């Protein structure tokens, strides 16, 4: 099952914000892009490489390959887990490279909303306080501590030489 988004990207102007993308919907969101110049749809004929550059909210740039349709009028881009791992706005542009020229489209933006729930072990870390025996934070899907978690934390704290903070210590800070 796929979520197809048919959008038009003008080569000269910025193209607006597209919504409906959800964090961690990996390889199911597909962009079908028609490159336009005004109202005219462009044919994509001569190129050595064509790709989409995306700037994530954490300022990391991703390069996604574009597949050109048989009629040379539409691009297909499959959004990967790297593009949808962070909620926020992705800044995107299409690059067409030929040996004689480089052509860059106007910018378009994809808004990725945060996922509400989890679907399994490979989603996201929601309990940053529990460190497993191998030193890594386990991936859990519930945002509360079980009684066993609480007991384990109390035991770890009890083994540490940690001085408790009193109300007087807090009052001294202000």
Within 8 A by CB and 6+ apart from 7, the residues are: 15, 18, 31, 32, 33, 34, 108
Any idea where the domains of the chain sit in the sequence?
3-113, 117-174
pLDDT of residue 121: 47
All residues at 6 or more sequence positions from 71 whose CB lies less than 8 Å from its CB, including other chains = 43
CATH architecture designation of domain 3-113: Sandwich (2.60)
pLDDT per residue as tens digits for the range 60-92:
999 999 999 999 999 999 998 888 888 999 999
Tell me the CA distances in angstroms from 125 to 50, 55, 89, one per residue in order.
Answer: 35, 23, 21
Specify the pLDDT at position 149: 72
| Per-residue pLDDT in tens (0 to 9) along the chain, 174 residues | 788 999 999 998 888 899 989 888 878 889 999 999 988 998 888 888 999 999 999 899 999 999 999 999 999 999 988 888 889 999 999 999 988 889 899 899 999 998 876 554 444 444 444 445 555 444 444 445 667 777 777 777 666 665 667 778 777 776
pLDDT attached to residue 117: 66
One DSSP character per residue, 4-62 reads EEEEEEESSS---EEEEEETT-TTTEEEEEEEEETTEEPP--S-SEEEEEEE-TTS-EE
Answer whether 53's CB lies under 8 Å from 65's CB: no
């Amino acid at each position: 099952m796929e979520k197809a988004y048919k959008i038009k990207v003008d080569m000269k102007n910025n193209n607006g914000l597209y919504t409906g993308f959800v964090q961690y919907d990996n390889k199911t969101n597909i962009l079908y892009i028609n490159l336009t110049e005004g109202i005219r749809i462009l044919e994509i004929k001569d190129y050595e490489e064509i790709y989409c550059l995306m700037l994530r909210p954490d300022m990391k740039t991703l390069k996604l390959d574009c597949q050109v349709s048989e009629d040379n009028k539409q691009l297909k881009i499959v959004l990967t887990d790297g593009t949808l791992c962070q909620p926020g706005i992705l800044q995107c542009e299409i690059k067409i490279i030929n040996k004689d020229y480089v052509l860059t489209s106007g910018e378009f933006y994809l808004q990725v909303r945060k996922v509400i729930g989890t679907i399994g072990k490979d989603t996201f870390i929601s309990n940053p306080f529990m460190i497993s025996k191998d030193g890594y934070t386990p991936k859990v899907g519930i945002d509360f501590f079980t009684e066993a978690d609480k007991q384990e934390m109390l035991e770890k704290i009890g083994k540490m030489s940690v001085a408790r903070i009193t109300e007087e210590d807090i009052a001294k800070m202000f």
